[in-house]
A and B are shown apart, each in its own frame.
Chain A
Amino acid sequence: MQVDQQYGSKGFGRLTRGAGLFLRNSFGSLFSREFIKVLIPLLLLWEVIPRFDILPRTLAPTLSDVALAFRDMVINKGLLLHILYSLGKFLAGLLIAVFTAIPIGIFMGWNLPIRKHTLPLFQILAPIPPPAWVPLTIIIFGIGLPMQIYLIFLGAFYPILFNTYQAIKDTDPRYLSSARVFGASELTLICNIYFWNALGAIIMSVKTGVAIALVMLVIAEMYGGRSGIGYLLVEAKDFFQIPAMVVCMLVLGMIGWFSIEILKFAELKLALWKVGR
């Protein structure tokens, strides 16, 4: 049987194969035999410990309390809609960070004058903790979507920038010399050597950026936000709805985990020579 007949049209077949591979890799690692041996006892402890007041049930709800709260939030509080709002802001901030930090990092790593002009400024600004930018951001952008997206962008920007710059700078000069011998232009060097050599580090830096961007998502939604998981988390916290708080925390964890899985899959597809290391 030809490949086309077996898998349908080429494009759709590749898509379904890719999706299958992604789901197998991501959920496969979550539901592996080894992790199940750890997960099931943890879930049992979570249910049992508050039930027997080993930890006060007031402050540590049982797994079943959290499950009920999840159901209630989906039906009555539009949890899925809030997740979509948060995902939208998170992706917007993250993508802006990726598409600004990577090119700036590449230019800084590739060109010495550009590096000398820009690196000191970033080195001064980077150690400022992203939450410290909140008051100034509110003054400039007000309270709303631009402020929230900017804070998420700020959280992800510096890790991606510095890792990209360092990886580009650390490109093996022998590759560059060999390419130049064959007449490669600087653009060719950037597109075919610098970038691909640094890809693993770039993807790693985006994973770090994802983690910090999630933190900034919650902080951003705390300030005047009326939608999103961060807003639900703070509202639940303010009115002592601890099971709802735990639901929001778990949802944030799942968003982070899923984002990392997507990046791992992207690395698998794009940087095949790193597989198995």
Chain B
Amino acid sequence: MVTLLLVILCVVFAFQSTQKLFSPKAIIGHNGSPLLAFLYAADEGDEGREAFTAAKFNSSADVGYALLSGTIHAGFIEPEKALELSRLSGFDNLVVLGKVTFPYGVTVITKKGSSLRLQDINGHHIGVPSDNPALLKEFTTAVSKYPVQLKQVNYQFLPSDAIIPALDAGKIHGAIVKGSKSVIAISDGHNILFQKWDMEPGNECCPPVIDQLEFVLLAQKKEQTRNRALVEILTGSAALNPSVLRAALSRAEHVPETLFADLPLASFELADNQLLSLFSQHSGTDHHK
């Protein structure tokens, strides 16, 4: 029995090593998010097609597992999940390469047809994503500049994916969401009650890294040459004309281009010191270059 187990283990290892040896193009994992227009555009370009293949996964957690096992070279993961991933010992083999940010900050949405105003928010039920409670602090800090009282607001902490359904079902009167989620809500016909626009580094409440950060690009640490080339291609793609990016996005998502015409696009940038410090603190390893 023990011999059989050891033989099976050896075969598994040999197979995995062979796969890594014969993989010529970088594989970038993603979850098919509409915020990755630059990735889809890069994947369609000549330079991108030579350098990498974009592989879609069911969720960004699967991208994380693929990164840990070494079967993909890089991947986009949500920051909350990436921070959890950074606690695992396999994260030492990974490096934080870049970030995807969305221009809108914390947003409060209300159900379509609602006439609720910000000054009347007391006494109402407002949903808060339980996996990103920092948004509540961001909201209360932002609203403190206005003559609005929040002492009697009933905050209900719900999982992120339950917030919009709860709003639709009337279980909550409004919901605090990340800027990018508000785009989805608007396209469903919901209203914006409040939105923070003036996001700057060194924000006195919370660093934008929490609020505006949509994805983190993680990559295999040992593939430095490949990583440099990837960042160059993705940064170049993010600087393309918005119409080109929207066209690539509509092809990738199989939806009409007009759906994204009035919506801002997420941008891709190299990981800054603030982001690297955040991951260094969480993982206990220095991620600065």
B90 near A41 with CB under 8 A, answer: no
- Interface stretch of the complex, out of A116-124, A235-243, A265-273: A235-243
Q: Mark A53-90, 1 if CB is under 8 A from B, else 0.
A: 01111110000000000000000000000000000000
Asked if A187 lies at the interface with its beta carbon under 8 angstroms from chain B, I say no
Chain A residues positioned under 8 Å from B91 (CB to CB): 58
- Shortest CB–CB separation between residue A2 and chain B, in angstroms? 50
Q: A238-B59, A238-B61, A240-B81 are in contact. Are A58 and B89 (CB under 8 A)?
A: yes
Chain A residues positioned under 8 Å from B85 (CB to CB): 240
Asked if B264 lies at the interface with its beta carbon under 8 angstroms from chain A, I say no
Chain A residues positioned under 8 Å from B64 (CB to CB): 240
Asked if B14 lies at the interface with its beta carbon under 8 angstroms from chain A, I say no
Residue of A nearest to B2 (CB): A41
- B1-57, CB < 8 A from A: 1-2, 5, 9
Q: Mark A236-257, 1 if CB is under 8 A from B, else 0.
A: 0111111000000000000000
Q: A41-B2, A238-B81 are in contact. Are A54 and B61 (CB under 8 A)?
A: no
Partner of B90, one of A56, A226, A239, A241: A56
- Shortest CB–CB separation between residue A40 and chain B, in angstroms? 11
A38 near B69 with CB under 8 A, answer: no
- Shortest CB–CB separation between residue A69 and chain B, in angstroms? 14
Q: A54-B9, A57-B89, A58-B89 are in contact. Are A239 and B81 (CB under 8 A)?
A: yes
- Shortest CB–CB separation between residue A267 and chain B, in angstroms? 29
A45 to B6, CA, bound (A): 10
- B60-113, CB < 8 A from A: 61, 64-65, 68-69, 80-81, 84-85, 87-91
Chain A residues positioned under 8 Å from B256 (CB to CB): none
Residue of A nearest to B88 (CB): A58
- Shortest CB–CB separation between residue A33 and chain B, in angstroms? 15
Chain A residues positioned under 8 Å from B89 (CB to CB): 56-58
Q: Chain A's interface: helix, strand, loop or mixed, by majority?
A: loop
- Shortest CB–CB separation between residue A53 and chain B, in angstroms? 9
- Shortest CB–CB separation between residue A143 and chain B, in angstroms? 8
Q: Mark A200-241, 1 if CB is under 8 A from B, else 0.
A: 000000000000000000000000101000000000011111
Partner of B68, one of A45, A49, A55, A59: A59
Chain A residues positioned under 8 Å from B68 (CB to CB): 56, 58-59
Chain B residues positioned under 8 Å from A58 (CB to CB): 68, 88-91
Asked if B159 lies at the interface with its beta carbon under 8 angstroms from chain A, I say yes
Chain A residues positioned under 8 Å from B80 (CB to CB): 239
A59 to B162, CA, bound (A): 29
Chain B residues positioned under 8 Å from A45 (CB to CB): 2, 5
Chain A residues positioned under 8 Å from B2 (CB to CB): 41, 45
B88 near A240 with CB under 8 A, answer: yes
Q: A41-B1, A58-B89, A59-B68 are in contact. Are A240 and B9 (CB under 8 A)?
A: no
A59 near B90 with CB under 8 A, answer: yes
Partner of A237, one of B61, B87, B88: B61
B1 near A38 with CB under 8 A, answer: yes
Q: Give the interface of B toward A (CB within 8 A).
A: 1-2, 5, 9, 59, 61, 64-65, 68-69, 80-81, 84-85, 87-91, 159, 161-162, 165
Q: Give the interface of A toward B (CB within 8 A).
A: 38, 41-42, 45, 49, 54-59, 143, 224, 226, 237-242
Known contacts A49-B9, A54-B9, A226-B162; can you find 7 more A-B pairs with CB under 8 A? A41-B1, A45-B5, A57-B89, A59-B90, A237-B61, A239-B61, A240-B87
